Amino acid sequence: MPELPEVEHARRSLERWAVGRAVAAAAVPPSRLLGAASPASLRRWLTGRRIESAARRGKHLLVGFEQATALHVHLGMSGCFAYTRDEAVSARWSRLPIGGPRLSLALDDGGTVALFDPRMFGRLDAGAWADLAARFFDPLGPDAWLEPLTGRHLTALLRGVGRPVKVALMDQSRVAGLGNIQVAEALWLARIHPERPGAALTRADASRLARAIRATLASTLADLEAGGGYLQDAGSENPFSVYGREGERCRRCRLAAIRRTVLAGRATYFCPRCQPVPR
C-alpha cells in the first residue's frame, strides 16, 4: 500500500523515533531488498552511525546519517516501519520464522526500528547522500505533496500526453508519489474519467484535479497520522471513495454503480456518471 501518504507517514515516524539517535546494533538478514550488497557489510556500515534526518521525494526515503551518508529505502508493495521500546517485542520480531524484519535497528535510547516487507518488492541502499539522491530523487517529477500542484502546473506536466491521464499521473518521472489508489481517488473527486488523454484536460479540469490530488493525499495522510497504523489492514473498513468499490453505488451521485476496468495492467475504479466517458 505504500504510496505518498504512507511514505510521508513513515518519514515523520522515523523523525520522531530515530533522528538524533545512533544505531547501537543492526540486524540485516539476507533479503532481496539488498540487491547485490552484502548483509554483513550493511550491518557494519550502520553500526554506530548517528541518524540526522529523514527526507522523502515521491515514494522514496533517504534516511540521513552523519558524514553526508544515507540509507535509501523504498517500501515497494508491502513495506512498513514499526517501532517498539519493549525488548520482548523486538525479540519476538527477530524470531519470526517468516515475514520478519528485513532490517532492524536497535537505537542508543532503547528503541528499536524495524522494516517489514513480506513481499520483498522494496529496496535498501547505503552510501553517500549525494549519490543516492542523484540515483533515486533526481529522476522523479515534482513531488505531488511538497510542490503545491496547481492547474497550470498540471497542464504543463500533461502537455502532449496522449495516454490516459490515470497512467500519466502514476508515472513517477512526471509527478512523484501517486499510486493506483491515490490516482483513483483524485480522478473521482475531480470528476475526470481515468482514460481521458492527459493533454485533453481543460484548464478547469486541471485545476480541479490539482485540488483533488491535494485533498486525497491530505485525507489519507490525516487518517494515517490519526490512527498511527496502516490502512487496509485485514478486516479494516475500506476508507476510500471509489478504490475497491466495484458494484457499489457511487457515494457522491448515489445513482451509478462504480465500475472496474484495467488500464496499463492495473485495476481502475471510477463512477461512469460522475466521470463521463471521453468521446
Positions in the binding site for DNA (CB under 7 A): 1-3, 32, 58-59, 74, 76-78, 98-99, 118-121, 160-164, 167, 170, 172, 179-181, 231-232, 234-235, 264-267
Please identify which of the residues 50, 163, 260, 266 carries the catalytic annotation: 266
- Count of beta carbons in the 10 Å neighbourhood of residue 263: 17
Distance between start and end Cα atoms, the chain: 33
10 Å CB burial of residue 36 (0-12, 13-18, 19+) is: exposed
d(CA 185, CA 131): 34
Please identify which of the residues 3, 8, 185, 195 carries the catalytic annotation: 3
Nearer to DNA, 19 or 221 (CB): 221
Please identify which of the residues 2, 101, 164, 194 carries the catalytic annotation: 2
Q: Whole-number minimum distance, CB 31 to DNA, in Å?
A: 9
d(CA 269, CA 226): 26
Nearer to DNA, 53 or 78 (CB): 78
Alpha carbon of residue 127 to chain centroid? 22
Q: Whole-number minimum distance, CB 266 to DNA, in Å?
A: 5
Q: Whole-number minimum distance, CB 244 to DNA, in Å?
A: 8
Please identify which of the residues 21, 59, 191, 196 carries the catalytic annotation: 59
d(CA 257, CA 39): 50
Alpha carbon of residue 47 to chain centroid? 27
What residues form DSSP beta bridges with 50?
22
Q: Is 3 a catalytic residue?
A: yes
- Count of beta carbons in the 10 Å neighbourhood of residue 25: 14
85: Cβ contacts below 8 Å, ≥ 6 apart: 110, 111, 112
Q: Is 56 a catalytic residue?
A: no
Closest CA to 213 of 114, 142, 121, 122: 142
Nearer to DNA, 9 or 49 (CB): 9
Q: Is 2 a catalytic residue?
A: yes
Q: Whole-number minimum distance, CB 142 to DNA, in Å?
A: 15
Nearer to DNA, 151 or 164 (CB): 164
Q: Whole-number minimum distance, CB 36 to DNA, in Å?
A: 11
Annotated active-site positions, please?
2-3, 59, 266
